[in-house]
Every structure is written in structure tokens, then in C-alpha cells.
Amino acid sequence: MFKISKYVFYDILRSKVIIAYTLFLLIISCGLFIFQNDISKSIISIMSIIMIIIPLVSIVFSTTYFYNGYEFIELLLAQPLSRRTIILGEFIGIAFSLVTAYLIGVGIPILIYAANATGTVIIISGIALTLTFISLAVLASVATRDKAKGIGISLMLWFYFSIIYDAIILGILFAFSDYPLDKAVIVLASLNPIDLGRIIILLKLDISALMGFTGAVYKEFFGSNFGLIYSISIMIVWIILPLSISIKIFKKKNL
Amino acid sequence: MGNNIAYGILMRYLSFFFNCLILVLGAEAHTVNVCASCFDKDFQSAIKNAGVYDTIILKQGIYNSINTIINKPLTIIGENFPILDAKNQDEVISVIADHVNLIGLDIRNTNEGSIKDYAGIKVYKVKYINIINCQLNNTLFGIYISDASHVIIKGNHLKGLNYGKSNTGNGIQIWKSDSVVVEDNHSEGHRDGIYLEFAKHCIIKNNLSEQNFRYGLHFMFSDDDTYINNIFKHNGTGVAVMYTRRVQMINNKFIDNWGDASYGLLLKDMTGGLISGNTFSNNTIAITMEGSDKMRFEKNDFLKNGYAIKIMANCMLDTFMLNNFSGNTFDAATNGQLMDNLFKNNYWDKYEGYDLNHDKVGDIPYCPVSLYSVIVEQMPYAVMLLRSFTVDLLNRAEKNIPSIIPETFQDFAPMMSMHKR
């Protein structure tokens, strides 16, 4: 399994895309820290960028890589290896390279300029988002053999999680605004890894505003130790669930 | 006729003589020491035996003082903070005579309950009172000034009896009084730190009011008062001021008032005040105002608040000039479409305009109300979408083609960089 991951990692490194991605993240985060006097403001800007760029790059890059490396996968399938091992190997290889890129591009500047609880939360939720969207990409890739369709699905997934879902939430909140929604919003937040990550980071930053209103609900829930364990486990579920579904599909798939 | 004049002159000399006599006697006012080993051992009997304008020096020790009534002009000085204890039975000291000075006393343990406003020091219907450097612990009301004038309350430290409970009294309460100076006091653990009602021409200066159950400062119907250099922090709901005209609040700090219904400063039905040089930081809402007219907000700093200003549509003719708005989640929120207030030359960190002629003033107006703040105002749960990409998109779309946000709510000449203080 790890041998496959190693080959995947070397292959990704050779393609230079990952290096460009690392440099891009590094320049953005360093730039935001250097040209912005207020650290908390730059953290917020970095967060906004992370919440859009990381899911997009992770999902599109992984899907493309998966399809481009399909011959390699087919070669591996001819070997005495279980399909589960192959998918996991691919996943770990892509994940390792993208997480490394993230840690160098965003992690290092944060460690230099804002090594505190907020920084830690940003790094952790960034890693979780990367893994989640790679996992979703694997799902999109095994779902169909057609490359264009696969990339289309993954783009649609990104679009759904980063834009459409929030609009749906607005609609739900508007429709049920006469009802107490304390528990519902926590469930709604858990159903989208991007929202979950954002709320956890914001609770470390914009507590004042969130505190004032229904934010007290979030603060009470996500701010507690239980909430922390809850959100971490939800994130892990978001990583594992699409991956295990794709393994299941891939096992039964007629190649 | 001549007789009458001679009589008049005689009377004048006589009255002069008597005046001199009184002055001489007055100058000979005694100083009485009270302590466990002194001739006077008891505080209450010492007051009973004292003459007018005497000075009573209380040595260090514990004295019972169950509603000691001071009914003549006296100066009472404590050495090393002698403890006056009401043993939770009644008030500690009631002042009902003019010209009383209370200095350096440690006043403790009033009764509690709602039948009477039990106070550590109650001042009632008198003039020329000084209360200086006293410590008040475990009192329902700390210093209670009622119907008095020309009172100085300075350098006192007041601790209420309940932390986090609602049945406490106020730290410094001034009711229906005139010309009171409240300076350098520290009030904590009460219902309201400083409370004024019908108190005119008062100066509230350099006080620290913190961790009070309700408000740090609360006043109503108290015209022509001035508040300078006070710090109000960590209070249950901040500072609330209502129904008052011509108030000046200068260089105060409103800090860390967090919570569901908290704000830095609540203004309700205020008219013609000046709010200048204040710092509002880390409050859920820095200023929330309702029915307040002709107020001037100048040179204030609004930093890292949830909302900087929440201004109801029934506020008119208010001006906001030369303020800094930085790091606030929402700069402003309102509940209507009409806005008859002037915003000019403020610095807004969210301003995205340009300055072509380099006069440091932005060329396009800034609208501090965002679509999202209108949404959150109507659907509070939508706060979970704070800083989401979708919300940014909606805000941008709304900014270009305004349809929901009030168009009249604008800063016509926003500054490009922060005002230096």
C-alpha cells in the first residue's frame, strides 16, 4: 500500500503542479501576513481563501490525477493486490503530497506569524478539508469511467459545498425563521465540511459577534470539549465515508 | 429718630461680636479619638457626645455601627481603615446634616432585602458632604446620595454583596441631586456600578466600574452631566443611558461587554449630547441607539466589536465624524430604510474605494450596512454563514445594485487611512 503511495507521490512531484500550488499558497499567506498589520485580519483573509481554494484544488487535482493515472491503476490491478489496497494507496499518495503542500504553503507562515490556538485550528481544519475533498474526488472518479464526467462531478461537488449549500441554508433559515433552530443549525453545519471548518475557526476569532446572538449556541456547543471532539469526529467521518463508499464501488466495478 | 439709629448701630456691633464669638468657638472644635483603649470606645456614643464641627478620629479596630445617624456637621477620619460593621442588620451610616466629611473608613455588611434600600453610606437631604478614600464591602447599596447637593465622592472602593445575583443594589446611587462629583472610585459586584437618576450637573471622572450584574453606568433624567476618563468593563450589559439631555461623555473606555444582550453603550431617548474620544472594544454591540437625536459622535475608536453601531431608524440628526471603525464584524445595522443622520470623514477598514486626487478622502461613498447584516437582523441563526463565500457574493451583488440596504445610510467622505489619535 505504502509502496503505491510512494510511487504516486513521486509521480505527483514530477508534474510540477503541486510545486506551483505550494508556491501559490506560500506567496498568498506570506503576503497577507506581511502587508496587513493586524494579524487577526490576515488570519481571516487566509481563512476565506483556504475555504475556497483548498477544496477546489484538492478535488480537481485529485480527480485529474486519478484519471491520468488510470493505466497505472490498471497495471496494478493485474498484480496480486486487493482493490482496497490500490485505492487506499492512491488516496494516501495524493493526500500526502497535497497536505505537504498545504503545510509548507500555509502552515509555515502561520507558525511564524500566528502560532497560537487560532493558527492550530486553521492548520487542522485545512488538513481536514484537503483530505475530505480528496476523498470526495476519489468517489467522483470511481463513479464513472468518463474523465470529463468525473471532473464535472467533482466540480459540481465543490460548487455544491462552497456555494449552493449555504444558499440552501439561508432558504431553510428563512422558511423556518419562526421556529427555534438551535439544534438544527448545528446539524446543518455538520452536513458541510466547509461550514464546519469555518465555524470552528471563527469561534476562535469573531467570538464577540457570534456570542451576541445565536452565536451563543455555537459557542456553547463547539466551544466545549465535547463540541471539539464532535467536530473532529464529524470531520473524520467526512474523510472516511466517501472513501469507504468509493472502495465499495471500486471493488464491485467491472473494469 | 436718632435713638433708632443708635440702636441700629448697637445691634450691628453686638451681632458682629456674637459672630466673632461663634467663629472663635468654631475654631476650637475638638478632636476626639476613638479606640479600644481610648476614653471613647464606642463610635455611636462618640458621635452623640461630639460638638458641631468636631473631628472624630477612629483608630484601627472593629466598631459596631448599626445605622449610625450623623446629625451634626462632623469630620470622621479613619486611621488604617477602621471597620464599621452593621452586622447585616441595617444601614451603616446615615448622614442627615450638612458639612460632613467621611474619610478612610471601612464600611461593611449592610442588611439586604427589598423593603428598604440599605446602604453603606446614605446621604439624605443635605449639602457639602465629602466621602473620601472609604472602602465599602458587602453592602446592598454602596453610597446612596438622595436629595443632596455639593457632594464629593472620591477614591472609594465599593464591593457589592452578590456576584452574579440580581438582588443587589447599586454601587454609587445618586438620586434627585445636584452638583455631585464622583471621582477615582472603583465599583464592582453591584447591580449597577454607578447609577444616577434626576441628578443634574454632576461630574463622573476617572472611575472604574466592572463586573456589575447589570450596568457599569446607568443614568436617566440626568441632564448636563459630564463623564470623563471612566472605564466600564466586563459588566453584565454594559452602560445604559436614557431620557437625558446635554450629556458629555469624553475619553471613556467601554470594554469587554459580551453576551446575548450586551452592548458597550445603549442610548435611548437622548438629546443633544457629545460622545467624543471614547474607545469601544470587544463589545457585542458597541453603541446601540434608539430615539436619540442631535447627538455628536466624534473621534471615537470602534475596535473589534461585533456590531459597531446599531442605530434604529427613529434616531435623527445625529452626526458621526472622525471616528475609526476597525476590526468590527459588522460596521452598522439598522431596522429601516430611512436614515436622517450624517456620517462624514470616518475611517472604515472595510472601505474599498479609491482616492484619485490624493486628499486622503475616498472618492466614492461607503455604505456601512451590508446585506448580510440586514439578513442577520431578521434571521439571527444566519450568523452561522458568517464570512461564507456565498454571503460575500450576496453582499457584493447587493453593493453594486442596492435593493435591500438603506441607500441613505452612507458615509459621503470616508477617510482612506485610520485617524491618528
Which residues make Cβ contacts (< 8 Å) with residue A239, sequence separation at least 6?
A: A128, A131, A132, A135
Angle between helices A215-222 and A193-205 (to 10 degrees): 100
Please report residues of A whose CB lies closer than 8 A to that of B375. Answer: 170
Of B378, B381, B385, the CB nearest to A181: B381
Interface of A with B (CB under 8 A): 38, 40-41, 44, 47-48, 51-52, 162-163, 166-167, 169-170, 173-174, 177, 181, 185, 188-189, 194-195, 198-199, 202, 206-216, 218
Rounded to 10°, the helix A165-175/A193-205 angle is 80
Residue B72 half-sphere exposure toward CB, CA atoms < 13 A: 13
**Average pLDDT of the segment spanning A157-174:** 93
Q: Which of A200, A224, A216 is nearest to B258 (CA)?
A: A216
For position B29, what pLDDT does the model report? 78
> Residue A38's closest chain B neighbor by CA?
B327
Query: Considering CB atoms only, which of B285, B330, B384 is closest to A195?
Result: B384
Q: Which CATH superfamily is domain B29-236 in?
A: Single-stranded right-handed beta-helix, Pectin lyase-like (2.160.20.10)
Mutate to test the interface with A, among B383, B395, B398 (most CBs of A within 10 A): B383
Mean pLDDT of chain A: 89
Beta-bridge partner residues of B319: B296, B342
Give the one of A40, A207, A212 whose C-beta lies nearest to B327's C-beta.
A40
Single-letter amino acid code for the residue at B172: I
Provide the pLDDT for residue A208: 46
Q: Kindly report, residue by residue over A175-209, the tens digit of the pLDDT.
A: 988 888 878 888 998 999 999 988 888 877 755 45
Pairing of strands B324-326, B301-303: parallel
Alpha carbon of B350: minimum distance to chain A alpha carbons (Å) = 11
Residue A169 corresponds to which cell in the numbers above? 441554508
| d(C-alpha A104, C-alpha A107), whole Å | 6
CA distance B214 to chain A (A): 16
Whether A92 shows a pLDDT value over 70: the answer reads yes
Residue B373: list chain A partners with CB under 8 A: none
**Contact between A18 and A101 (Cβ < 8 Å):** yes
* Contact present, B176 and B153 (Cβ < 8 Å): no
Note whether B389 contacts A166, CB cutoff 8 Å. yes
State pLDDT tens for residues B112-149.
887 888 999 999 999 999 999 999 998 999 999 999 99
pLDDT of res. B401: 81
Instruction: Give the separation between CA B191 and CA B236, rounded to whole angstroms.
Output: 9
- A101-142 per-position pLDDT tens digit: 999 999 999 999 888 888 898 999 999 999 999 999 999 999
Residue A21: which domain range?
Answer: 2-252
Q: Long-range pairs for A9-13 at CB < 8 Å and ≥24 separation?
A: A9/A93, A9/A96, A9/A97, A11/A69, A11/A72, A11/A93, A12/A65, A12/A93, A12/A94, A12/A97, A13/A97
Q: In chain A, which residues have their Cβ closer than 8 Å to the Cβ of B330?
A: 209
Number of domains within chain A: 1
Q: How far is CA B197 from the centre of its chain?
A: 11
Strand order in the sheet with B239-242: B68-70, B93-95, B119-124, B141-146, B172-175, B192-197, B215-220, B239-242, B265-268, B285-290, B307-311, B330-333
Give the span between the Cα atoms of A124 and A196, in whole angstroms: 12
Helices and strands, number each (H, E), in chain B: 4, 39
Q: How far is CA A27 from CA A111, A128, B194, in A?
A: 15, 22, 52
Residues of chain B falling short of pLDDT 70 = 1-28, 162-166, 260
Gap between the Cα atoms of B297 and B319, Å rounded: 6
Q: What is the mean pLDDT of residues A149-178?
A: 93
Q: How far apart are CA B375 and CA A10, in angstroms?
A: 49
Residue in chain B lying closest to A166 (CA): B390
- Going from N- to C-terminal start, the domains of chain B cover 29-236, 241-369+406-421
Does the structure's ipTM exceed the value 0.90? Answer: no
Chain A residue numbers with beta carbons less than 8 Å from the beta carbon of B383 are: 209-210, 213-215, 218
User: How many CA atoms, within 13 angstroms, populate the side-chain half-sphere of residue B75?
Assistant: 11
Residue B93 to residue B134: CA distance in whole angstroms = 12
Number of helical H runs and strand E runs in chain A: 14, 0
Choice between A63 and A209, residue whose per-residue pLDDT is larger: A63
**What angle (nearest 5°) sits at the alpha carbon of residue A32, between those of residues A30 and A38?**
120
